[in-house]
Structure 1
């Protein structure tokens, strides 16, 4: 039977989720996520929410105090500059609650808010991998699967219980009834069928604000793609004049400087695809972010690599150009010359944090 307090708790959780849903655009553009807890849960600060509180009895019913002091004396070091009591404020404070939501819940909200279509995968996207996992013990089985430790402990307990164990001559010989064997069961694992490669320009022209925009957008893109695939493999590339494959933590925290050669990122992305993700079996997504400031002679090489090596094997190749006070933005103009020839090449201009919202919808709105 459901208790009233459980119903109240459930209603309050729905209110909290409603507040998140109503303000989702703000959370997307401002990055007001306090941080990941593990890999599945995040916390979001929800302002202006009345927090449930206990209601106490009427005043004047007495109580117990400890320590020295006079009746009516304030607790602590309150007081104004003239030695009097400090005056109480007359403005309402801001109530903030940290709402914990799973990434699946956030993905559902994101898809609903941006009206994102479901992705139609290719290849072995609907397959599941079946694997035998030895996760139990049984009394019968082949000798090759005999669990020595379990068998020995069973025999030892039997000898001690029957008085047949001598500590001076500790000989333990298991019988047929003592034997225990490993047993397997079939476990269905998701087939990892989608690969995402994130590329971020970390050269000197990319300020910390621009890098934070990239990281915020990458988080929300990642949240949506994870909801669309049972298994998702991710790779991260940072580059200035030279590209490096890094782990997720480095991608979200690194700060570098230097010149810019975008072709180095493309070379690294192609290497990762050749090494890990055969295009016939994988749904491949590339998301590149830069301020568009590229070494001039490198643009020709970039166009060759992009058209010949990356775009043909990707479900989507998305380029997001973050406006920077130091970047020229020339690279976007080069991409606009070829974008009409490739349906899976998507371009987006991100002028500031407010542009993250529209950029995500531009990238993911075609459901590929």
Structure 2
């Protein structure tokens, strides 16, 4: 008998599976609480967890109980008062109630609190970005720096226990046992037949020494058969892993923000919060997404993440300068056949005369044929200006790739973000 003992230590957080099952079961209630928390807190405070409450009535478990009518017998331990056949009166109505309503206080000062627990940062962000994705993310052809995936590449006699092939090892052991026992079993059958033939002879012709010799030989052969091991190190086979190049789904997101003088400080704060939410979303769900930050007024510059969010530079407004810079960066560093290209632009819609037409032509003729998706948010409570009107022409030409929404105040950031990046049923990979 062979015993296989798993000596690996138990993993930490052994209740993690139960916690995930709980989060999945009450996803609707938790998601509603998370959305309320997002509307309540600042976008800059999105990275911490959240305390979530679920009404007690919503976590009650179903129970089975006897219906009215019918005859049933009950054995109650410790009964010293009743005998078989006695009838038991029901308890008084005022004493059989369930007390105060759940989640509220009764006139006796008693009640039941809502069930509350705390979501971690990862769990909170998971619910915040649930159902969102980068639209039209595609696998791109292999490039010089290939994405490598380890795949199985046959079997080998050497390896680590974690990659042992149980089925193949047992098959090898079975074949070895058959091969090693076959000649011994053949010799055993011949010895048993010879012994049977010798014992059937007439006692006068029987050779006692030969019988003793055959019995000893049979015993020796049976021991040899039992000595063949069930499994041997020679039988073990291990899965081999080989590096296989994979099509890359790498992407780059261009964050384009208007910092001109027409953008008030409130407009800039809303734009920064929108891009911060986008940054958290990409950091949470995509490991291989690069970010390019572009600020523009009359001129556009590629800046660092810190400068993008905290620089106070300002000026006039020429939106086409930012689009031209994005095009130059794509041509220089991000070939469309190797990268998924995304652009998110935030502006108040103000632009110099005749430049909106230039932006429209740049998008239709040069940028949109190369991009997977373009998201434009206009931060203004007023009527739309020429830039929005020209962008409507672009949206009509590229309805699946170009989306535009208006943000009036900070409360619109999260709903607009979810609308722009919601999961599409026709998503192609």
TM-score, normalised by the number of residues in structure 2? 0.50
Who is 2:140 aligned against? Answer: 123
1:350 aligns with 2:369: no
| Inter-partner Cα distance in structure 2 for 1:188 and 1:35 | 40
One of 275, 281, 302 as aligned partner of 2:359? 302
Counterparts of 1:1-368 in structure 2, within 5 Å, are 21-29=31-39, 32-33=42-43, 42-44=47-49, 46=51, 100-102=120-122, 106-112=125-131, 120-124=137-141, 128-129=147-148, 191=248, 193-323=250-380, 329-343=385-399, 344-365=401-422, 366=424, 367=427
Q: Deviations over 1:78-109 (max 9, x none)?
A: xxxxxxxxxxxxxxxxxxx996413x861454
Consecutive unaligned residues of structure 2, counting only runs of 5 or more, are: 1-9, 55-116, 151-241
Asked whether the equivalents of residues 263 and 298 of structure 1 are also in contact (C-alpha less than 8 Å), the reply is yes
Structure 1: gaps (5+ residues): 37-41, 50-96, 132-184
**Does the 8 Å CA contact 2:251/2:288 hold for their aligned counterparts?**
yes
Is contact 1:287–1:318 with CA below 8 Å preserved after alignment?
A: yes
Q: Structure 1 residues 19 and 251, CA, compared in 2 at 3 Å: closer, same or farther?
A: farther
Please state which structure has a larger fraction of its residues in helix: 2
Decide which structure has the larger Cα Rg and report it.
2
Higher deviation after alignment, 190-199 or 22-31: 22-31
- After superposition, the C-alpha distances for 1:270-315 in whole angstroms (9 at most, x for unaligned) are 1111111100111110001100000012112211211111111100
For 1:201 and 1:221, how far apart are their aligned partners in 2?
16
Contact kept, 8 Å, 1:289 with 1:320, in 2: the verdict is yes
Aligned partner of residue 206 in structure 1, secondary structure:
coil
Deviation at 1:357, TM superposition (A): 2.6
1:329 Cα deviation from its structure 2 partner: 3.4
Distance 1:198 1:358 in 2: 19
Structure number having the greater strand percentage = 1
SS in 1 for 2:129: helix
Q: Distance in 1 between matches of 2:14 and 2:266?
A: 45
**How far apart in 2 are the matches of 1:188 and 1:123?**
12
Aligned equivalents of 2:38, 2:385: Cα separation in 1: 24
Contact 2:49 2:120 in 1 (8 A): yes
- Label 1:27 to 1:208 Cα distance change in 2 as closer, same or farther (>3 A): farther
Superposed displacement of residue 321, structure 1: 0.4
Cα deviation for residue 200 of structure 1 reads 0.2
Structure 1 residues 46, 252: closer, same or farther in 2, change over 3 A? farther
User: So what's the TM-score if we normalise by structure 1?
Assistant: 0.58
Aligned partners of 1:26, 1:312: CA distance in 2, in Å? Answer: 39
Residues 101 and 19 of structure 1, relative CA distance in 2, 3 Å threshold: farther
C-alpha distance in structure 2 between counterparts of 1:110 and 1:24, whole Å = 10
Structure 1 pair 283–30 and aligned structure 2 pair: CA distance change class (3 A): farther
CA contact (8 A) 2:140 2:248 kept: no
Contact 1:260 / 1:294 at 8 angstroms: preserved in 2?
Answer: yes
Offset, 1:35: 5.5
Question: Contact (CA 8 Å) 2:356, 2:387: kept in 1 or not?
Answer: yes
